Structure 1
Amino acid sequence: MSETHDCTHPEHHVHSTEGFVSEVEAACVERGLRLTPLRAEVLQLVAEADGPVKAYDLLDRMKSSRGGNAAPPTVYRALDFLLEHGFIHKLASVNAFISCHHPRSRQHQVPFLICDGCHMAVELEDEQTALQLEAQARALGFQPQGHTLEVHGLCAKCVASGK
C-alpha cells in the first residue's frame, strides 16, 4: 500500500496491508459480496505494492507465486470487482491501480498527487474539491458519473534530490 497519505481524518484511513485487507473482507460481508480467493490475492498484491501497480505486474507476481497459472482475464476480472466496489482506485494517466484508504466507503471521489519521479501516489482526503467539481459540472447541465482527479508533478523527496 502506498506509504504516503494526507491524514486529515486518520480514523477513516487504513494504512497497513493487514488492516486494509481486513476492512475489505468486513465490507464484503456487510454488503453480501463474495471475495473469492483470486480477488483476495489480487487485493493483497495491490495493497502490498509500494505505490501504483500495473495489471501485468500483478499478473507476473501471481505467476511467480502460483507457478505460472494466472491468466490476464482472471486478473482483470478481479480488478474490475475491486474497482466496482471501491476497494481500489485506477489511476488512468499511469494505467495502474492503488488501494483505497477508505475501503468501507461505498463511493467517494478523491484527488491524487502522482510523482513523475518516483511514481508514488498520494490519495488526498479533500471532499471540498470533489464537491466543487460536481457542482461546476451540474451547473453546466453535466451529470457526472464519477471522476478521479490526478495531479502530476514531483514529490518533496524528488524535488530535494533534484530529479
Structure 2
Amino acid sequence: MTGPSTHDHLACVAELEAAADALALERGINLTPLRRQVLSLICKSHKPVGAYQILAEMSQNRAEPVAPPTVYRALDFLVSNMLVHRIDSLNAFVACFRPHQAHHSVFLICDSCQDTRELDDADVHSSLARAASRAEGFQTLRQVVELHGRCQACAAGASVRP
C-alpha cells in the first residue's frame, strides 16, 4: 500500500525505536538485544513478517542458529507490550507505530503487494461489539479487524493493464 510519496520510512522506524526505548523505561521492561533485533526486522517494511522469516534472517548473521521458541518468546513479548501487532489471517506480524497510546486497530492488507496499514477506528470496534451483543448476547473480549483488498497503487496499476 503505497502511501504518500512524502513517507519517510527511516524516520518512522527511528521514531518507533525511540518510542520502544521510552516505553521500556516507563514500564520497567527489558528490551533485550534479541527483542530489539526482532522488532528491527519487523520494522523493515510495512509488510507482515512471519516468525520463520524472522528466524531465517536472524540465523544468517549468527554462528549458531536461533531456535524457534526464542523468536516466538520475543514476538509474544513485543505483542504483549504493544510494540507489534499479530495479523491473524496471515500468521504474521507488523510494527505498531503508536505503541505509546491505546488504540483500536483496523488493518488494511493489500492482497497484491502485501503492504499493510493500520488505522485507528474505535467506532468500527464499538459498532461490532454492540451488534454482537444485541444479536447474540455475545460479550466481546478481543477484536481483530482485518480488511483484505487492494491498495490504491495496486488498484491503479490493475486498472491500466490491458
Q: What is the CA RMSD across the aligned residues, in angstroms?
A: 2.0
Equivalent residues in 2 for 1:130-149 (5 A)? Answer: 130-139=125-134, 140-149=136-145
Residue 61 (str. 1) matches residue 57 (str. 2): yes
Aligned-partner Cα distance in 1 for 2:34–2:121: 32
Deviation at 1:68, TM superposition (A): 4.2
Note if contact 1:113-1:123 (Cα within 8 Å) is conserved in structure 2: yes
Distance in 1 of aligned mates of 2:98 and 2:67? 29
| Inter-partner Cα distance in structure 2 for 1:35 and 1:18 | 16
How far does residue 24 in structure 1 lie from its aligned partner after superposition?
Answer: 1.1
Q: 1:75 aligns with which of 50, 53, 71?
A: 71
Aligned mates of 1:52, 1:21 — CA distance in 2: 18
Report the counterpart of residue 109 of structure 1 in structure 2. 104
Whichever of the two has the greater Rg, that structure is 2
Q: Structure 2: which 5+ runs fail to align?
A: 5-10
Separation in 2 of the partners of 1:46 and 1:3?
Answer: 18
Distance in 2 separating the partners of 1:54 and 1:3: 21
Within-5 A mapping of 1:75-94 = 75-94=71-90
Count of residue pairs the alignment pairs up: 152
SS at match of 2:61: helix
CA contact (8 A) 1:109 1:146 kept: no
SS in 1 for 2:156: helix
Other-structure match for 2:96? 100
Distance change in 2, residues 1:85/1:137 (3 Å): farther
Tell me: CA distance 1:75–1:142, structure 2 relative to 1, closer, same or farther (3 Å): same
Contact 2:107 2:116 in 1 (8 A): yes
